[in-house]
Amino acid sequence: QNIISDISKDNTINLSTKIIVDADKIKSIPGNSIAEVLEYVLGLNIKRHGASDVLANISTFGGTSEQTLILVDGLKISNQQTLHHDLDMPINIDDIKEIEIYRNTATREYGSGAVSGVINIITKSGNERNSYLATEVGQYALLNGNMMLNIPIGRSFHNLSFSNLSSSGYQTNTDFLKRTFYYKYSLQDGKTFTNFSFGYLIRGNGITNHLENLYENQYERNSTKFFNSKILWDFGNIKLE
């Protein structure tokens, strides 16, 4: 098992630095979701209550999930008030360029939600992506489909990805559905940089053995949406960001 860590030559763990999980490391890990990739990082505790990253939460370096801040391209995506939805992110695993994991408290920069650590997921831009279509089928009506498109127009790039993961479940009320759509626009013209992205996720799953079994055939459905933009205009003596 390939554990990702940050260990120096004298076999001591450097607690003042950060761990970088780049695209090559992500490809080398036998996982199809963000939760499955992060399980290989030393110091992270991923608790999943279903297949893939269904009802998953994450804690870092001895803290709780409420003390771990999750970002996508620097945008806060996690909510400490939710339950088991830390990794409900509307991005595909192949959208990720690298994952930055910061140890210890980062409350001065990121606020009270970053007491034990910060996870920043950085997505690919421009020609860092490839276009492809992939499908996978399995037992219990498992269907896993992924599509990515990279469309260059002049000096701009339009990146789209869509994924569908669903199954009827191995027993009653263990079915789940996850669909994501992600779009990113990037333009770099000399010293001018424009970037914005939009993500949308729909998730539904039975919660047998996950939460309280007071009622039969309980089902949970939720959605996640985000919009992120970054603009840098450099006019020599004047910079707008």
Q: Report DSSP state, residue 50.
A: S
* % of the chain at pLDDT higher than 70: 81
- Residue 11 reports pLDDT greater than 50: no
- Residue 1 reports pLDDT greater than 50: no
Identify which of 49, 40, 84, 90 has the alpha carbon closest to the alpha carbon of residue 64.
84
pLDDT digits (tens, 9 = 90+) for 113-150: 777 788 899 998 877 778 889 999 998 999 999 999 98
Is there a contact between 73 and 123 (Cβ–Cβ < 8 Å)? Answer: yes
Residue 162 host element (H or E): strand 156-167
Q: How many CA atoms lie within 13 A of 1 on its CB side?
A: 9
Is there a contact between 62 and 42 (Cβ–Cβ < 8 Å)? Answer: no
Q: pLDDT tier at 7 (50, 70, 90 boundaries)?
A: very low
Is there a contact between 110 and 77 (Cβ–Cβ < 8 Å)? Answer: no
Beta-sheet strands, E only, within 44-155: 44-48, 56-60, 68-72, 75-76, 96-103, 117-123, 132-138, 142-153
Helix (H/G/I), strand (E/B), else coil: 53 = coil
C-alpha to C-alpha distances, 140 to 48, 49, 90, 169, 233, nearest whole angstrom: 19, 18, 24, 6, 52
Helix (H/G/I), strand (E/B), else coil: 89 = coil
In this structure, what token pair is assigned to residue 72?
């996508």
Instruction: Provide the residue ranges of all domains of the chain, joining segments of one domain with +.
Output: 18-123, 126-240
Residue 84 one-letter amino acid: H
CATH 2.170.130.10 holds for 18-123:
yes
Is there a contact between 35 and 96 (Cβ–Cβ < 8 Å)? Answer: no
Q: Is 97 left (phi over 0), alpha (psi -120 to 50) or beta?
A: alpha
Distance between CA atoms of 94 and 33, rounded to whole angstroms?
9
pLDDT of residue 211: 57
Mean pLDDT, the chain, rounded, equals 80
Question: Which range has the top average pLDDT, 5-19, 110-124, 157-171?
Answer: 157-171
The residue that leads in pLDDT, 241 or 69, is 69
pLDDT of residue 15: 46
The pair phi, psi for residue 88, each rounded to 5°, is -80, 80
